[in-house]
Amino acid sequence: MESEQRIGMGAEAVIESTEYLGHRAVLKRRPRKDYRHPELDARLRSGRTRNEVRIIREARCAGVRTPVVYDVDVAEGSITMEYVEGERVREIIESEPGRIPDICRMIGETMAKMHNAGICHGDLTTSNMILTASGELCILDFSMGSTRCDVEGKGVDIHLLERAFTSSHSRATEAFGMVMDAYMRNADGAKEIARRVEDIKGRARYT
């Protein structure tokens, strides 16, 4: 592995560009938090790293395109994975309206695949999606994800994605409707999940 260059930073992780066995790669690491007790910090970082890798693996088994994991260092809380070449979905929706129907259909179908496999992403936004050069929709960042996801978790996933559309895209209503059309055609128990989404929206209005 060669030297890293920071390309992003979240609440708990730093994202760096690197190389792995001659391949362009991404290193995601969870730095130590000095405000936490060292033993607790180590357990949290290692547990969250294991969980993320497990969810990525299960999503791939369900037919969802995710980055390939090259290496995991549980003790350091780091994952080395494929650098996914392609276009950020957020930018496609904002700048290329002619491509919106196809990309939104892909989002809905992919979300249905995850939910049918009992996987919730936990932070679905169009910034966490890449359309690859080969035309696949790749889902990034499963750090907030979970497996054995119930109807409530699936509803929260959809609600978060709708909020992301509303805040990020001028064509939000039309585009998100296309996402949901594809989702409803492909998701198991879609009607029950859609009812739960409306219930979650109602709760959100009164909190």
Measured CA to CA, the distance from residue 187 to residue 176 in angstroms comes to 16
Catalytic residues: 123
What are the tokens at 65? 């395109």
Q: Residues 6 or more apart from 53 whose CB is under 8 A from it?
A: 69, 72, 79
H or E element at residue 16: strand 14-20
For the chain, report the end-to-end CA distance as a whole number of angstroms: 47
What are the tokens at 168? 């990020």
CB half-sphere exposure, 169, CA atoms < 13 A: 27
